[in-house]
Structure formats: structure tokens, C-alpha cells
Amino acid sequence: MASKTAYKRLTKEYKHIQDEPPPYITAHPLESNILEWVYLIEGPPDTPYAGGQYWGTLVFPPDYPFKPPAIRMMTPSGRFQTSTRLCLSISDFHPKSFNPAWEVSTILTGLLSFMTSEEMTTGSISANLGQRKQLAAMSRWWNSTGGGSGSGGGGKIGFGDGGARFRTDWPEVDKDNWQWMRDHRINPQNGRVMTAGSLIATKTEDADSQEKQKAGRTVVAERASQSWLSRNKIMIATAIIVAWVAIGRVFQHDVTSS
């Protein structure tokens, strides 16, 4: 639970970051817990992350601002390990170096600055330029699908959850991402652009499915239009034969007895 000081400070900082958002950065606290924030970084131009959408969390201690938050990035970037606490001078790895005058906007600006550098630390990785650009191009898809339906990742946030956490934290952004995927013909299963062949196959499958459904509805309609007698004539004929045999046996028994 947040202390009074932390609650007051974070409430003030939320208003400030709404009124004056830092370049390429959006952030807000969770409704259920003011100590946990989510952020969204837009990859700056002229960087390997241009056009990318990077989602992460800040978890503040109850005695903030006297101690720094834990910082994680969920979206694969080629710069940080996903869902891993990052060792930065502005994170909980270095509480003694944290300045209480720093705000959420300061922390996230520092994170973005570190992200666009090549300095290494705990939680950082060194992917090549092409890999980072590819991950940036797939970041919207990854956020809103959790990496596709077949992804795994040891239960870490964002992996294999179908994008549920992102959808909860960023509902409007998630809607925009799905529209973006439709506009760019992105396959939600794997994040790749659907080719003309795959689109034709999909349409063919849809057409076949519709024909099967139509045929099924026709059979049902035809059966419904038939009378009960015509639909059950075999059963009725069988019952008549069984009854006739039974009557014959009874008559034969009466003749024998007499």
C-alpha cells in the first residue's frame, strides 16, 4: 500500500505527465494500484526502433520518492530482455543513486535515452540493427496478440496470453493495433504479411464453409417441410410388420388351444 507521501506524489505526477507528456512517451497508473504504472514508448525516428511500440511497467515502492521503481519492458525490442528488471541508475537496482526530485517523466525519459544508446547492463541485450528493426515492425502485432497464439515464455507477462494484459492496460491502443493489422494484412497467428495466395486460400475456406453451412440449412429446411408421416415411414412400416406377426401368433395360439 502506498504511503500518503507516495500517493500524493504519484497523483501529482500523473496529472503532470498528462498535461506535459514527454516526447514519444505515454504512461498512467493502474486503477487498482497507484504504485504500478504502465508506459508506452513510441520508437523515435532515426533509430532502429522507429515505428515501434514498446510497452512496459514501473512498480514503485510504498516509500516513493525516496526509493526508485522497478523497471521492465514487455515488448521484444532487441535492446532489453522482456519482463526482466532493468539495472539502471534510475531503477531499484541503485536506490542510493536515486534522486527524490526525479519524476515519472524523468525516469521514462532516462529509460528511452538508455534504450537508444549501446551501453550494456543487467537486463540489456545486444541484437543487431536488422533484428531491432524487424522487432519494431512486429511490435504492434506482438503487443496485441501476446506474440501469437502459439507463443511460450514461462508465464512471463505478455507471452502467450493472447494480448490480454496489454488489452487491459491499453484498450484504445489495442483497438488501433488490430485495425492496423487489418489494414496491413498482418496474420494474427504469426505477425507476417499475408500473401495473395494466403488471402485467396482464406477466402476459399470461408466460401467452402459458407457453402457447407448453406447446404446444412437446406437439409434442415427440407426435413422440416416434410410431414411427420413421410419422415418416419420406415419406422411405421416396421411397427406394422411387428404388430401383424404378433397378431398372427396370438390367432394361431387360439386355434391350437381350441
Q: Which of 59, 87, 125, 137 is catalytic?
A: 87
On whether the CB atoms of residues 144 and 181 are closer than 8 A, the answer is yes
Q: Would you say 37 and 58 are in contact if contact means Cβ atoms under 8 Å apart?
A: yes
**How many secondary structure helices (H) and strands (E) does the chain include?**
8, 4
Q: pLDDT of 70-95, one tens digit each?
A: 999 999 999 999 999 999 999 999 99
Distance from C-alpha of 122 to C-alpha of 87, rounded to nearest angstrom: 5
Neighbours of 138 (CB within 10 A): 21
Cβ-contact 47, 57 below 8 angstroms: no
Q: Identity (one letter) of the amino acid at 62?
A: P
List the CATH code of the domain at 4-194. Answer: 3.10.110.10
Residue with cell 467452402: 208
**For the segment 23-60, what is each residue's pLDDT rounded down to a tens digit?**
999 999 999 999 999 999 999 999 999 999 999 999 99
Phi, psi torsion values for 65, nearest 5 degrees: -95, 15
For 131-176, write each residue's pLDDT tens digit. 999 999 999 999 999 987 544 333 455 456 889 999 999 999 999 9
Q: Contact at 8 Å (CB) between 43 and 87?
A: no
**129-145 and 171-183 are packed helices; what angle lies between their axes, rounded to 10 degrees?**
110
**Residue 170 DSSP SS3:** coil
pLDDT, position 233:
62
Helices (H), the chain: 4-19, 104-115, 129-145, 164-169, 171-183, 196-225, 228-231, 233-257
d(CA 101, CA 91): 14
pLDDT of residue 161: 83
Residues 49, 43 contacting (CB under 8 angstroms):
yes
User: What is the pLDDT at residue 225?
Assistant: 47
Query: Phi, psi at residue 56, to the nearest 5°?
Result: -160, -175
For residue 24, the SS3 value is coil
CA 100 → CA 68, 151, 181, distances in Å? 8, 40, 41
Q: End-to-end distance of the chain based on CA atoms, in angstroms?
A: 100
pLDDT digits (tens, 9 = 90+) for 188-234: 989 999 987 655 554 555 456 556 555 555 544 455 445 545 556 66
115 part of the active site: no
Residue 36's pLDDT is 98
CA–CA distance, 114 with 123 (Å, rounded to integer): 12
Decide which of 18 and 213 is more confident: 18
Q: What average pLDDT does range 95-123 have in this prediction?
A: 96
3-state helix, strand, coil in the chain (%, to 5): 50, 10, 40
Q: Residue 141 and residue 83: Cα distance in Å, rounded? A: 17
